[in-house]
Structure 1
Amino acid sequence: MQSKNEQISELIGLNEELENYFSNTIIPQLFVDAQLALRKFTPPAMRQFNLKREYIGRPLEEISENFRYPTIIDNIKEVIATGKILEKEIQTTDMRWYQMNILPYLVRKENTTNGVIITFVDITSRIKDLKEQEKLIAEHELLLDTIAHDIKNPLFALGLTIEMLRKLPEKSMEKFPVFLAHVESSLLQIKKVVNDLVATRWQEQRYKAEVELLDLQNILEDVRLTLAPQILESKAIIKEELEISQLRFARRKLRSVIYNLLNNAIKYTPANRIPEILISAYQENDHLVISVADNGIGISKADQKSIFEKFQQVETASEGSGVGLYLVNTIVASANGKVTIDSEPDKGSVFKISLPAVAVNISSIQ
């Protein structure tokens, strides 16, 4: 049996070991007793949370703001009460991320929890990397959806042109050069998409959507040429009212937005009605608004809630995969913009793209 002096000597030795550990560890670490008073902390914790020596012995509640994490005391109480380790990723009010571990400090002889040891591992850089990876994955998914959609569009136009050629009377060959031009245009569009996709394997930046100063009028002309077979077949009337024509955006993405809205306006117009489409661009408060209004079949209030979801298609009688409006919404949202719709069944629809004023080239307004 140990004498009292031996026990004291052992406790002093254990305390010195604990002091040595706390003095030399490179991890921010705290020791809080069962009464929620701060008993020890490591030098990294002193630097990270602005702790001072005079804080030792004070209730943690008095200095809890130093940790910039409002529920830390509740978490400590939970561990003391349950005796179970708590592990969680937390974000402090200074926007840093930590892996926080709260371990019960057990007194084995008495089998009680006499406080907790808390460690903080800074994982801010890891969280940032994860968010960048998530963003990259989302961009790749959007890229794949866009490529698939871009290939499908000229294929559809090619099929439509071939069908029109089949219906062409033998004596009406004067229209043949026009149809041939549409075939060539569709083939060039397919070739461009395939070439961009192949180039992506070797030059990652080739297909990257870079923001640049664009002329909306040029984008509209490009889309008109791509949709020429559909416009010719439907006899669509397309008008423009562009109070603002220049904006900063990624060319491929803006073209995809305009193409999908214009294509839908033509596609979802009843066969017995000539499509009438008005494309407008104007400033509204601190936003640039691009509006596409049509006289098509319209969309009910109930269906409007799901039209921007992937693979959702309201009118199943028309050819489509339900990806177009999903792409429009995703592209606009990624630019901190918003897509709204005003529509009634059989009375047409108005889609509005609202983009922050930073996207507008102010010189074009003055």
Structure 2
Amino acid sequence: MTLQSQESLNTLFINQIKNYAIFATDPDGIVTTWNKGAERLKGYTEAEIVGQFYGVLSPDEYQEAGLPERELRLALEGGVYEAEDWRKRKDGSFFWATIMLTPIFDEAGQHVGFTKITGDITKQKELQDQLAERQQSALDHKTTELKKVNFDLDNFVYTASHDLRSPISNIEGLMVLLRDVLEENHCLNSQINEIVNRVTASVDQFKHIILNLTEITRLQKDFSENPPEEVLNIQDVYDEIMVDLEDPVKNKVCFIQTDFQVHQLKFSRKNFRSIFYNLLSNAIKFQAEERSCVIKISTRLEEPYVVLHIQDNGLGISRHHQGQLYSMFKRFHGHVEGAGIGLYMVKRIVDNAGGKIEVESEEGVGTAFNVYFKAGL
């Protein structure tokens, strides 16, 4: 039996592999060897492909973009280039392939070429695509169902809040009438007066809840309709808010410092005003009695965001409560009026616009909010 050289054994072994295209190139990517698997998978015979640049096996647009040359460079720099991508056969058809491109070095460490191993995983990709399509279809169906449920819930909340206004107003009017009748008949003693006051307070609380539910429904409706963005002037919005807060500021004096490094923002004006108003009014509302109220407001560019920063030296929020900060109807300071939906609405608006909100707070020291809006004019 004739002994074969190690090189001829390797060549024989490689040619026996029919399910993978295995070939070699010189340092410039010119094909120098070609196995039977490559002929079966790519469609070129050895005589047709040897001497050609291996990039001919890539789609035309890849060749025009210089991607084959980039693969050679990445393989040489990283020791190997691995990917899954489209490859082209001789007849022009495409298949989805696993690719491994490896540089070859001689004993002296000199770069002498590349080896390329390519496998056809088109069937696996088709199965993956079908699975992804089914998953997307199921997700779309689920999304449609959720939108319908949300729409029905919004309609229910709106209808309920609308229909409840009339009986609540009637109860409110009847309580006023009852108080008058009791006074006329000298029946309004301290105990009865306390009961009437509690019923009236409960009615007022009910009215606020209805108004808040209506506001949340309106907010959800705005999300579904995608409120138009505009280039707004931050200083102008601030000035408008300060006019609205004029009376509270007179009653609770605050020193407000502003530093608007970014003057304009592309955002829904109504929604930006709602965010700014809620955070600023909270800073004024939750000030500490034992020290002067100081609020610092600034804007800065922090790519890819414009950041609105509002910092106060007020009551602060305990670490325990910070995890519930954006929950609906959550209130952490009972001595101050509020419904507990302001920060919930702020978070919803910011999240829906692709931004984020962060808070740093220490009880008895103060709170700082950073609101991140996508920068783009």
Larger radius of gyration: 2
TM-score by length of 2: 0.46
Q: TM-score, normalised by structure 1?
A: 0.47
